[in-house]
Structure 1
Amino acid sequence: MLHTVLRRRTNGETVEDIQPDLLIPTGRSKGHNPSLSSIYRALAEHEKTQAYPEAVAAAHADFAALQQRDHSPK
């Protein structure tokens, strides 16, 4: 869904124009359109990950270490 929004915004479309064409693929709201606020939140989160890639990489490494520690034999 995010990929579609990013691609279409690059082509000059507004989020308001894109929103009716999007569908939620899974979960409780499966088959419905996401709200505008949900789309804007996803875009903001995407911008954060693009702005701070080292923080994202560190968070992934920390999470992997925690998962490994939690699943190791005692």
Structure 2
Amino acid sequence: MLHIVLRRRAAGESVEKIRTGLIIPTGKRKGQNPGLASIYRALAEHERAQAYPEAVEQAHVDFAALPVKEIPHPWPATARQPAN
């Protein structure tokens, strides 16, 4: 979806208009339009990655070098996260 948004923004369309043409393909919101905040968040993340490509590449290398037992896993849906 990011590529569609980038291409249409380059053509001069607003994010609000682009949003109506996007459909979430999977998951809980399947068949719905993504939220504006989600689109702006994806655009901001893309711009950060473009601004610091060496940092992104280094992060990928560092992550790939982690032993499997050190890779953080998401909390199970039924488990409670510890309070900070």
* 2:9 counterpart residue number: 9
* 1:21 counterpart residue number: 21
CA RMSD of superposed structures (Å): 1.0
Q: Which blocks of at least 5 consecutive residues in structure 2 are unaligned?
A: 70-84
- Structure 2 residue 35 is the aligned partner of structure 1 residue 35: yes
Secondary structure of the residue aligned to 1:31 is coil
CA–CA distance in structure 2, aligned partners of residues 70 and 3 of structure 1: 31
| Equivalent AA in structure 2 for residue 63 of structure 1 | F
| Equivalent AA in structure 1 for residue 52 of structure 2 | Y
1:56 CA displacement: 0.3
Q: TM-score under structure 2 normalisation?
A: 0.78
**Structure 1 runs of 4+ off > 2 angstroms?**
none
Higher helix share: 1
| Equivalent AA in structure 2 for residue 27 of structure 1 | G
Tell me the percent identity: 68
Report the number of matched residues.
Answer: 69
Q: Which blocks of at least 5 consecutive residues in structure 1 are unaligned?
A: none
Spell out, residue by residue over 1:8-44, the C-alpha distance to the aligned partner (whole angstroms, 9 max, x if none): 0010100011101001112111111000010000000
| Equivalent AA in structure 1 for residue 61 of structure 2 | A
CA–CA distance in structure 2, aligned partners of residues 19 and 70 of structure 1: 38
Point out which structure has higher relative CO (alpha carbons under 8 A, 6+ apart). 1
